[in-house]
Amino acid sequence: MTSTPTLPTLDGCDDPSSVLSLARGQKRAEEQAGREVMKAAAVWLAMHSTAVLVGPVDDWHEKALPVGGEGCPEVAEFAVAEWAAAMGISPEAGRTYLSKVAEGTYRLRACWKRLEDGALQAWRLGMVAERTMCLSPAAAAFVDAHVAPVAHKIGPAQLMRLVEEAKARFDPEQAEADRAAAAESRHVDIDLAAVGVAGTAHVDANLDLADALDLETAVAHLAHQLLLAGCTESLDVRRSMALGLLARGEPTITLPVDDVNGETVARAVPPSREVVLHAHISASAVTGASGTGGAGDLARVQEVLQAITVEQVRAWCGNPRAKVTVKPILDLTEHIWVMSYEASERLREQTNHRDGTCVHPFCSRPATRCDGEHRVPYDRDHPDRGPTCSCNQAPLCRRHHRSKTTGGWTYVTVEPGVYLWRSPLGYQYLRDHTGTLDVTPDADRRRYARELVAHFGEQPPDQ
């Protein structure tokens, strides 16, 4: 019999709102402590530059240890070990941490300034620094300039896209070498040795992006067809079954669709999805005519919002069976409106490209896998109420679509692509394509709101 655990007591916290308020306050204190530790680490590095080294240069004496990316000063080796011991971490972890600090101090100065001002958490600066240490100074400066204004809310996926773009712009030779190396890492591993009584096997693969998109299309289509055919398994199970169908050369299944004669028909898998590139890129850049298509030529794959090099586009176009469509950059400011509940392909393409992911706070599910959500519910009898248009459509994954519909979450569209969310307990978050920002009013503004309620006898508008 399981005993009931003894819960800790929290003075003055006797309701969910006060408990969450206490936790948020302690979280802010923890974040400030993280900033102070990082600033102390920067001073520690400055105190232990290679200028303090003494003794001959041999295997027995202290050496200069590189930290951070290109251009960061080296540090005395033993100072790293002493810092790590004081922090209770391994020497390797200590060097990694100090490398992030050096990167922030010397190469990500705009981001570091935001840390010093209290606007950027230490762990977020560390996340950026970890990903820029491989870049040249010019590329790191590019990332710093673009990330600093949104560093407090940017996610890993958006950051990595910017890092890859900087690498392609400022170090195209390295970018091409990385692409070639990545191509060599493609593989498919089917672990048959670990099959147990459950009768399942683990499959691991690393594919070319175009192949991965084609596979995702085929698997998603067959999984949905299985659902229509009456399969009651979960989506994950149906996707695994779809792989088996493809392996057996069965791209179609018979669906119970009755025609006038009571017969059933088989539906075929649609043609492979084309890779859609939204880019300012010329045909000569793709074909390599007249010596064009050099450094700085980039394209972007809509489905994954990933910048790629012209060399990769050439490789895809060189495949006679590939279908690559190059489209101009979408006008994300255009207002598109349709007279139906379902969004048109053009509207879906615009909102997916504008928002990139599910627009719920901190969610990163790709927009192409989300529902097209109406902020103001669609009214079939009055299409002007809750219209299907650019300013009333946003991608929401099914989980967060449900939380908005029945879970108490609400939001307003500040402008297309910018959303102000309110949680069931009243916390507020500003979400745009760069990430999520907590904009919950502070204690003074909350007190002012309560005074308004007491004075007017009703709930005031959101502050």
The answer on 169 and 41 residing in a single domain is yes
Amino acid at 366: P
The answer on 217 and 134 residing in a single domain is no
The answer on 235 and 138 residing in a single domain is no
The answer on 110 and 66 residing in a single domain is yes
In a domain, 185, yes or no: no
* Interatomic CA distance for residues 177 and 71, integer angstroms: 22
Considering the entire predicted model, what is its pTM?
A: 0.63
- Provide the β-strand partners of residue 437: 430
The answer on 349 and 447 residing in a single domain is yes
Which of 439, 390, 438 is CA-nearest to residue 415? 390
Which of 436, 409, 411, 438 is CA-nearest to residue 425? 409
* Interatomic CA distance for residues 98 and 460, integer angstroms: 48
* Interatomic CA distance for residues 100 and 185, integer angstroms: 28
Give me the tens of pLDDT residue by residue for the chain, a chain 463 residues long: 566 777 677 777 778 888 888 899 899 999 999 999 999 999 999 998 876 555 555 565 667 889 999 999 898 888 888 898 888 888 888 899 999 999 999 999 999 999 999 999 999 999 999 999 999 999 999 999 999 999 988 888 888 888 988 988 888 887 777 777 777 888 888 887 776 656 678 888 888 877 888 888 888 888 888 888 888 888 888 999 899 888 878 776 665 554 545 554 544 444 444 556 655 445 555 555 544 444 455 555 555 555 666 666 666 666 555 566 666 556 667 788 787 778 788 888 888 888 888 999 888 888 888 888 888 888 777 766 778 888 888 899 888 898 888 888 999 999 888 999 998 888 899 998 888 888 888 766 666 666 666 666 555 444 4
The answer on 109 and 47 residing in a single domain is yes
| Dihedral sign computed on CA atoms, order 208, 210, 215, 217 | positive
The answer on 37 and 123 residing in a single domain is yes
* Interatomic CA distance for residues 67 and 74, integer angstroms: 6
Phi, psi (degrees; rounded to nearest 5) at 127: -65, -45
The answer on 281 and 364 residing in a single domain is no
DSSP state of 111: H
DSSP state of 197: T
Q: Domain count for the chain, please give it.
A: 4
**261 burial class (0-12, 13-18, 19+ CB within 10 angstroms)?**
exposed
The answer on 425 and 358 residing in a single domain is yes
Burial 363-377 (b: 16+ CB within 10 A, else e): bebbbbebbbbbbee
In a domain, 200, yes or no: no
Token output for 255: 């669906």
In a domain, 32, yes or no: yes
Strands (E), 154-211: 187-191, 202-206
Which of 176, 85, 162 is CA-nearest to residue 131? 162
Last residue of a domain, one of 121, 153, 175: 175
The answer on 33 and 158 residing in a single domain is yes
Phi, psi (degrees; rounded to nearest 5) at 64: -85, 130
In a domain, 299, yes or no: yes
In a domain, 351, yes or no: yes
Phi, psi (degrees; rounded to nearest 5) at 223: -60, -40
**Which structural domain range is residue 215 located in?**
209-258+266-272
